[in-house]
Amino acid sequence: MIDLHTHSIFSDGELIPAELARRAAAAGYRAIAITDHGDASNIDFIIPRMVQACGKLSRGFSIDVIPGIELTHIPPEYIHELAVESRRLGAKIIVVHGETIVEPVAPGTNRAALNAPVDILAHPGLITEPEAKLAAKKGIFLEISARKGHSLTNGHVVRVSRMFNTGLVLNTDSHAPGDLVNAETAWKIASGAGMTGSEIKAMFRNSRTLLRKAKAGKRSS
């Protein structure tokens, strides 16, 4: 299992990064990205500390631990500059908190994220066909979410992604130990969203590709 969207106590998660990484390793994970919620008030605090912690955790545990950030509830016009700053600070995976139907995310967030140097648009809700097409053009992955609430629109995300061959990744958006899932459960979540076996295998390959590029210090697009 490669999970590129999780949270620690640096935002609203329950675990310190070390325990989150250790629990993921014990659950059989190959890699995890710690992507705490960030905005202009805290990315300069979170990201450098996560960079320092993740390097030590990767060496200490049998798992790749990737430092990242989830830019969350950012006014759309500031997403691009905060993504650039996040990358400068050392974030290897940049996630944007998409327009999930269960939170009051500002309209225009999805499109602004897709015009920024980010890796994943998380739980993009009722993403439009033009936005899915833009994601494919930019090489930005759309998320299939294992998280309650955010997962309600997984089927829609799969449908529009098929129209433009938009890349998908499955993440847990974990905030607590019980949110982590194994590969079998991830497969069931994807199947429940209407994905075929070949589509699920391709989605898992996308996660491996993102991981490889993050470790090499390259953007996904």
> Is 145 inside any structural domain?
yes
> Is 123 inside any structural domain?
yes
Arithmetic mean of pLDDT, 66-81: 98
pTM: 0.97
Greatest extent of the chain over all pairs of C-alpha atoms, in Å: 44
> Is 63 inside any structural domain?
yes
The CATH number given to whatever domain includes residue 115 is 3.20.20.140
218: confidence class by pLDDT, cuts 50, 70, 90: low
Query: With pLDDT > 70 as the criterion, what percentage of the chain qualifies?
Result: 98
> Is 200 inside any structural domain?
yes
121-158: buried (b, 16+ CB within 10 Å) or exposed (e) per residue? bbbbbebeeebbbbbbebebbbbbbbbeebbbbbebbb
| Residue 219 scores a pLDDT above 70 | no
Domain count, the chain: 1
> Is 56 inside any structural domain?
yes
Task: Answer whether 144's CB lies under 8 Å from 122's CB.
Answer: no
> Is 221 inside any structural domain?
no
Cβ neighbours for 95, distance < 8 A, ≥ 6 positions apart: 4, 5, 33, 35, 68, 69, 70, 71, 118, 119, 120, 121, 122, 143
> Is 70 inside any structural domain?
yes
Task: Answer whether 132's CB lies under 8 Å from 166's CB.
Answer: yes
Identify the domain containing residue 195 by its residue range.
2-216
Q: Is 118 helix (H, G, I), strand (E, B) or coil?
A: coil
